[in-house]
Amino acid sequence: MPKASLAAFAERLTIADKNQLTPMQIKTDLLSGLTVALALVPEAVAFAFVANVHPLVGLYAAFIVGLITALFGGRPGMISGATGALAVVMVGLVKEHGVEYLFATVVLMGLIQIFVGIMRWGKFIRLVPHPVMLGFVNGLAIVIGLAQLSQFKVPGSAEASGHGMGGGEWLSGMPLVMMLSLVALTMAIIYVLPRFTKAIPAPLAGIGITALIVIVFGIDVPRVGDMASIEGGLPAFHLPMVPLSLETFYIILPYSLILAAIGLIESLLTLNLVGEMTGKRGGASQECIAQGVANTVTGFFGGMGGCAMIGQSMINVKSGGRTRIAATSAALFLLLFIVVASPLIEQIPLAALVGVMFMVVIGTFAWNSFKILRRVPLTDAFVIILVTVVTVWTDLATAVVVGVIVSALSYAWNNAKRIHAKTYETPEGAKVYQIQGPLFFGSTDGFMETFQVESDPSLVIIDFQDSRVVDQSALQAIEAVAAKYEEVGKRIQLRHLSRDCHRLLSKAGHLMVDSDDDPDYEIAVDYGVRTGILGTH
């Protein structure tokens, strides 16, 4: 890459950060990164268990994905790593074909995401309505909360479960009391400390104080080391040991597509959410490419892949992390934990980390949605609840797709009901239908029912000045109405259609179009020509 291009690329990556790199902000970002790294450890281990792989596979993914997206992602402040949404999809592949197929799948997943970013398809996330965003936030907050429940089980007894509700023996008696007390203590510190000082992120203080109490007084509660050892070396380059054949491709392709879709949807929605909190916009395509590169690299270094993590992103943003230093330091701290500091990190009580995540749940859930439900249209309220439930019950990608489809159908139905016509007669005896509302596939039936073919005079004028002809279904409906009038020997004239539209319709040979003052709506002519329905120029 030429030096000029490299310099421009570097400037583009840091333009959002350069005005914030004060000594105080750097210190805040580093402390925020440390807090996030501590919270990443049990999450990565737990998700590795869910995917039925070694804990280091999850930890390496959290490091590599977190580092690359921190440096090149579309939003400073976002945190990425191994996630439960992806892990629950991976488990079937791992059980049936083994972990090497997972690595190959992650590589292909990354390549798909890079392609999506190059094609700039990330911009379509703007089509996700606000009710779907609310449902996404609420559903994910509930999922994060449920995922913490597995920490209230006797170490080693819990089975892998996406929401922490699997089998295993629950804590009881004094161990449960101590666990709940330490969780409450951590939450209290996080809540109270910002009232006195913001020199240190409250979640980091909560983890440190609670861990110090447990270690000094020798309190017997589950600790990070009880989940699994996190000790390991640097991730090493590793080619997935799978046959290079079409059979392998057919095995991994479906999983890769699903994982790529889930990863991008969760990442782009988190991008929007962090953007709203930090006042930043854009970067969707850049985030897609960064996620893709991160996953491709991860697959070659023995990682399980990942995407943006809303919980850790909220910890970072609310701890003051605003630049790429925060997310980058989080990834580097995580690697430091694995390579050097594992004995120390393994002594941290899980209760402290659970307390941090519970505060994330409280801060993430959109509590104002309860008021909104009573004020918004019934359909929007239904979408909010639907997306929340589906997110918890199945997965994020399914929930978002369902929410968008329901919202789109609701929009189409509401617009379909708007079609109507005002009628009057001209001094010459012609009847004019002034069409009101958009004409598209959903409103064509209403449009055709508007006309009184048998009783209308010999000349009928259809005026589209207050309408909008949207798609090919609308063009076909206009032709159908014209054909009905022609069958009974009556003449029809169209006014205020786009030039493209009436040029196509004129090919039928029986339409007279007054186009002197027609606006140019730039109707998509190519579709009618390509299908052969409306003729050619």
- pLDDT tens digits along 230-260: 999 999 999 999 999 999 999 999 999 999 9
The pLDDT value recorded for residue 77 is 87
The pLDDT value recorded for residue 283 is 87
173 in any annotated domain: no
Range of 176-185, 219-228, 408-417 with top mean pLDDT: 176-185
Number of domains in the chain: 2
Cβ neighbours, 10 Å, residue 533 = 13
**Which has the minimum average pLDDT: 5-14, 97-106, 116-125, 383-392?**
5-14
403 in any annotated domain: no
Cα–Cα distance for residue pair 237/121, rounded to 1 Å: 31
Q: Looking at residues 62-79, what average pLDDT do you find?
A: 94
pTM above 0.85, yes or no: no
Q: Looking at residues 315-328, what average pLDDT do you find?
A: 92
Q: What angle do CA 243, 249, 250 make, to 5 degrees?
A: 125
User: In the structure, what pLDDT confidence band is assigned to residue 19 with cuts at 50, 70 and 90?
Assistant: low
The pLDDT value recorded for residue 156 is 60
Q: Specify whether 26 is located in the same domain as 155.
A: yes
In the predicted model, is pLDDT for residue 90 greater than 90?
A: yes
Q: Specify whether 155 is located in the same domain as 273.
A: yes
DSSP, collapsed to helix, strand or coil, labels residue 487 as helix
Task: Assess contact for 495 and 460: CB atoms under 8 A.
Answer: no
Q: Looking at residues 296-316, what average pLDDT do you find?
A: 94
Q: Which residues contact 21 (CB under 8 A, 6 or more apart)?
A: 323, 325
Q: Dump pLDDT digits (tens) for 409-456.
A: 998 888 888 899 999 999 989 999 999 999 999 999 999 999 999 999
The per-type count for the chain, helices as H runs and strands as E runs, is 22, 7
Cβ neighbours, 10 Å, residue 495 = 21
Last residue of one domain, picked from the residues 345, 362, 397: 345
Q: Specify whether 42 is located in the same domain as 156.
A: yes
In the predicted model, is pLDDT for residue 173 greater than 50?
A: yes
* Residue 320 DSSP class: T
Q: Dump pLDDT digits (tens) for 257-273.
A: 999 999 999 999 999 88
146 in any annotated domain: yes
Q: Specify whether 424 is located in the same domain as 341.
A: no
Last residue of one domain, picked from the residues 295, 317, 345: 345
Task: Assess contact for 48 and 218: CB atoms under 8 A.
Answer: no
Q: Dump pLDDT digits (tens) for 347-358.
A: 999 999 999 999
User: In the structure, what pLDDT confidence band is assigned to residue 504 with cuts at 50, 70 and 90?
Assistant: low
Q: Specify whether 321 is located in the same domain as 434.
A: no
% the chain with pLDDT above 90:
57
Residue 404 token pair: 């968008």
207 in any annotated domain: no
Q: Specify whether 305 is located in the same domain as 443.
A: no
Please provide the DSSP assignment of 190-201 as one string.
HHHGGGT--SS-
Q: Dump pLDDT digits (tens) for 211-220.
A: 999 999 999 8
- Find the domain containing 329 and state its range: 20-165+223-345
The pLDDT value recorded for residue 147 is 85
The pLDDT value recorded for residue 536 is 31
110 in any annotated domain: yes
Cα–Cα distance for residue pair 165/202, rounded to 1 Å: 29
121 in any annotated domain: yes
Last residue of one domain, picked from the residues 300, 316, 345: 345
Q: What angle do CA 411, 416, 422 make, to 5 degrees?
A: 135
Q: Looking at residues 473-479, what average pLDDT do you find?
A: 88
The pLDDT value recorded for residue 475 is 86
The mean predicted confidence, pLDDT, of the chain is: 86
In the predicted model, is pLDDT for residue 380 greater than 50?
A: yes
Q: Specify whether 436 is located in the same domain as 331.
A: no
479 in any annotated domain: yes
Could you tell me the CATH number of the domain that includes residue 510?
3.30.750.24
User: In the structure, what pLDDT confidence band is assigned to residue 528 with cuts at 50, 70 and 90?
Assistant: very low
Q: Specify whether 280 is located in the same domain as 147.
A: yes
The pLDDT value recorded for residue 331 is 97
54 in any annotated domain: yes
Q: Specify whether 48 is located in the same domain as 154.
A: yes
The type of residue at 509 is G
In the predicted model, is pLDDT for residue 55 greater than 90?
A: yes
Q: Specify whether 238 is located in the same domain as 134.
A: yes
